[in-house]
A = this chain, B = another copy of it.
């Protein structure tokens, strides 16, 4: 073994891993977009073979030897290779610490749990899902102990979605959030229902909505040579590689804002991934840093930019061109107010910008209790409903519209929800610094996203996974994370809007 050989080996393995993940993502994307339903069994079989092949490229003796050798010579490696070695070692350690039969059993459990969740949601029957949830949590805790023996299991989950994320840090951030934002929400609720958004629910022809999405892609600089738009039940971004990213949306004839803002949101994910550096191509570093950093981009463009007065001023002429009848009695100002209307809702996916993070806080508190055995899955619906009453003042209609609304837990994705909150906070902190470097407001009013994307590319996107979240935040702000920016942003925006 020498350095050149070992580097060559890990480069080749990563290229193959990329090919298998490309293929698996493509099968998955097809299953969401065009696949006939009757092929689901063979789809699952092929996915299994591809994921096993990808696993075997990472978890094998040659890879272990190569990484052991390179870890012993880290100081001789260029920074990008060193970052690959670190990331591969981390992935390999995680994978090999779980006994294969337990991993397979967990995959089976997750599949069953997702089916049970689906049925429970559509029949409003939580008990169908409750036992599966308990077993998922138990497995997550057991796996946490394999990954990081003796560590707090919930912290291990959090770390999986963003390296270094901990409950200690989040407790502090959420206490800052709670301190300012719950009172702000209360003041707004007391101010009464003064914003009319009913025109958003008029009939908007799907064809014109499609043209709007295409226009949004242009504004977001999404080059059709590297990005395409499809339609799925739930909007999402699929990253095959930096030269091929697909975003999806869902058109509702009676909800103009749904596809408009989901297209901006997914475009935010897409610009990140499309602007990772060429040097990272084919390696494990050729992706965004973490879920939190990814959401910071999607939610930045969706909310901080997309729901700003400047952006609405820019967009409104296009909207009236596409929907002259539907918007004949609406002004840009009325549109701005409507898409920012604060309204407590039981459904996270329909939440406004202000209450969204409250939905997240509720989930975060419940996840901690579940992992601490302070809450039995049997009693989860009751606890869920109590927190919705306490924080948002609303009575959850039923479990389908309550604890069963999201599918994250059926996948075992505990610790992912807080990333949406972190993403919100990052965006608010970044934009303050961005404004010191150039005139963001004017660029947005002109619909010119290029300087924003350039600024973010220079500080975050180009590095892919070769830096961590803390480094990205430092690159953008010259300092470390501070949750106060987001509070200030919300207080200013919604205080002004509601005069509170």
The chain A residues found within 8 Å of chain B, CB to CB, are 15-16, 18-20, 22-24, 26-27, 29-30, 34-39, 41-43, 45-46, 48-50, 53, 223-228, 230, 240-241, 243-244, 246, 281-282
Contact = CB atoms under 8 A, between A and B. Distances in A.
Given A23-B23, A27-B22, A49-B15, A42 B228 contact: no
Contacts of A246: 34
A374 B53 CA distance: 49
Number of copies: 2
A243 B38 contact: yes
A415 B322 CA distance: 54
A464 to B, nearest CB: 15
A37 B26 CA distance: 15
A36 B228 CA distance: 6
B230 A35 contact: no
A23 B46 contact: yes
Looking at A24, A38, A225, the one whose CB has the most chain B CB atoms below 10 A away is A38
B243 A41 contact: yes
B38 A19 contact: no
Contact of A42 (B30, B41, B42, B243): B243
Given A27-B22, A50-B19, A50-B23, A227 B36 contact: yes
A391 B272 CA distance: 60
Contact of A45 (B15, B45, B48): B15
Given A15-B45, A26-B27, A37 B241 contact: no
Q: Which 4 A-B residue pairings sit nearest by Cβ, starting from the closest?
A: A39-B244, A19-B49, A38-B225, A23-B23
Contacts of A281: 42
Given A19-B45, A38-B226, 5 more contacts: A15-B49, A19-B46, A20-B49, A34-B230, A42-B240
